[in-house]
A and B are shown apart, each in its own frame.
Chain A
């Protein structure tokens, strides 16, 4: 026995999971991570641009809070990213890797645009908006549920399936724009610019107000659904272990399909908001990568809808800041992308130290 023990070499470091960290300490670590990220970013700013880092950070903050308009743009962009993040959350919580939010949003937006294009002149705007909402949600559901059905019944790989559905959606959008705009420019332009048919109305003099209210409602609903409903609980169980779920009598196939119906529906709704409440047009860039950024937002917030408000706002804040720096200091946006990268790297890194403990090989054991 003794000889065997000799050969078991303990590595210098080994990593163990920890669950005991006090929330206050965890937040302290996160705070320190951001401070560290800002310091590192400052060094980068000074080395490559010779600007005063404080000036750069002030401009960054101005990008989101410099004026009332900028603040509402921050809220609007946050709402859209949050909406898509909420959409992917139940799926990810179930460990269903839905990489297809981009496509689900696109087909939702495309359905809305189609209604505006074909029925803009023949239906009253109120009716039209309801029809747009329904078709968008249904289109999102179809795009989301197809991979889910294949996964549930034939165990296909959902990451690849959902990812490929994105490309189908992009090509569909390109096709319809070509059909609708025969001059070949592939620019749809604002649909119904003169009549405003199918546009969500302004309320309180704010054109984004309806978007913000709808997304706030979805956030609350998703919070309740995940925490206080039986279905939300089923999602957690399936996510932790499918076998356990089956053992306690949960119909896993049903949960997978049902969850993706919800995921797809909210993505479709996001597409509707982007077309009807925001851009009034459709293009291949409608989702603009938010379908993927949403995954990061959702994970950073640990699938907590309320936390997602902050993570999505943080990401949008960085993006808006990047644009402002590029304009005000005439730096290429790549510079701000570097800063964003550094900050996110540190934040994700800090999660590692919160969730895991690094143990050094103890001297006592070595002596044995």
Chain B
């Protein structure tokens, strides 16, 4: 017992010691001496890629999960599609699945380099540190990381980030949801004040918050009385938890569900309960033939095609690429006519045209309030120096300028009025 007591005392001491240890955030972040804007980075840092012969070209993709995750499946299908289109062989397109966000990611990247890949991509936010590590070690290979934030501050010339203005797609998906809510109100199934949307989110991270807010704004533009309740699962892929969360929302009175989590959990729960669902990444009509309305997605084939093209012709891959709806990088999947309200497609087309012309802005500050007030200024954490300190003004010309200063979303206002935690 004495020994144990000693041990416990010792650990308490050590813990106390570490807790007292100076927590100097300024030195921890080791801010880059001068933060460059994305444009400056593009001009000075991004390295030119030498032309690669098509037969010698290889690309690798590192996925956190496999095809069972809607998120990873969206990447895998996009890359396979590009492979088919360009006539590349299977040995030239290497896909590594179930790669954790740790040393395994570095190893996977290094193995892909060993196999002769000219470009290595990774699809999960947590892969970033390890992709940067690999990029530094293999300067002749291009490393492209989706959803990351550090290309701007790391300044590694062969390391690139990519994302897309998915908030546009979310907004349109919200329009489909709003149409459905209106249909329910018109049919007398619910009263206007009961138009409550349920949202299953993975984490309360900017990417998720931005997605849910743009979705809600789209729905609200059509059905002004709509409100939204949110539940987080604390995991990007957890079938049981996502299903359970969707059921919890349905049981608490939500009449339509959407989600930003990567499994079939929520769509299937909705099909069971007969509640309409709006999804993300892939069409979920097969999971919910009578309830799946539509999905918004990033079409990664646009990006894949662009970087492969760059490799085959020689050129520079953008340090921080943000795909848009106009160029087809943000899309809606097929509308499920069986489940959607009448006239949804027409409405979507109408709003889509307005978005593209600039007549409608997703984060127009006149369309929402925060704590009852219009949003006139907001400092967002855009420059990722590892300090989590907001650094840049994001409200520009009457709108929250999402994804304009960095591709990865930074709308992190929890919440605008109308959205609340369940």
Contact = CB atoms under 8 A, between A and B. Distances in A.
B420 interface: no
A318 B19 CA distance: 42
Interface string A336-351: 0000000000000000
B87 interface: no
Interface in A162-192: 174, 181-187, 189-190
A362 interface: no
A61 to B, nearest CB: 15
Interface stretch (B198-206, B259-267, B301-309, B393-401): B198-206
Nearest to B150: A189
Contacts of A232: none
A261 B11 contact: no
A183 B205 contact: yes
Contacts of A145: 4
A185 B384 CA distance: 13
Interface in A189-216: 189-190, 193-195
B234 A135 contact: no
A326 interface: yes
B23 interface: yes
Given A142-B8, A281-B102, A119 B18 contact: yes
Interface stretch (B124-132, B330-338, B358-366): B124-132
Contacts of A263: none
Contacts of B206: 183-184
B274 to A, nearest CB: 31
A288 B50 CA distance: 40
Interface in B77-134: 90, 94-98, 100-103, 107, 110-111, 114, 125-126, 128-130, 132-133
Contacts of A69: 107, 110-111, 114
Contacts of A193: 129, 132-133
B90 A330 contact: yes
A285 B107 CA distance: 17
A194 B30 contact: yes
Nearest to A278: B103
B381 A183 contact: yes
A267 interface: no
Contact of A187 (B103, B114, B125): B125
Nearest to B110: A69
A145 B8 CA distance: 11
A120 interface: yes
Contact of B388 (A67, A181, A190): A181
A114 interface: yes
Given A190-B130, A288-B100, A326-B66, A141 B7 contact: yes
B242 to A, nearest CB: 16
A78 interface: no
Contacts of B21: 118-119, 122-123
Nearest to A185: B205
A38 interface: no
Interface string A301-341: 00000000000000000000001001100101100000000
B76 to A, nearest CB: 10
A310 to B, nearest CB: 23
Nearest to B102: A279
B28 interface: yes
Given A69-B114, A145-B4, A183 B388 contact: yes
Contact of B95 (A187, A190, A280, A327): A327
B30 A138 contact: no
A131 B27 CA distance: 21
A200 to B, nearest CB: 12
Interface string B5-35: 0011011001101110111100110100000
A174 B30 contact: no
Contacts of B67: 332
21 contacts: A67-B114, A118-B23, A138-B7, A138-B14, A139-B11, A185-B207, A186-B205, A189-B126, A189-B128, A189-B129, A190-B133, A257-B4, A261-B3, A278-B102, A281-B129, A285-B102, A286-B102, A326-B66, A327-B94, A327-B96, A332-B67
Interface of A: 67, 69-70, 73, 114-115, 118-123, 131, 134-135, 138-139, 141-142, 145, 149, 174, 181-187, 189-190, 193-195, 257, 261, 278-281, 283, 285-286, 288, 323, 326-327, 330, 332-333
Interface of B: 3-4, 7-8, 10-11, 14-15, 17-19, 21-24, 27-28, 30, 66-67, 90, 94-98, 100-103, 107, 110-111, 114, 125-126, 128-130, 132-133, 203-208, 234, 381, 388, 412
Given A131-B14, A139-B11, A185-B205, 16 more contacts: A69-B114, A121-B28, A135-B14, A174-B234, A182-B388, A185-B207, A187-B125, A190-B130, A193-B133, A285-B100, A288-B100, A327-B96, A330-B90, A332-B66, A332-B97, A333-B97
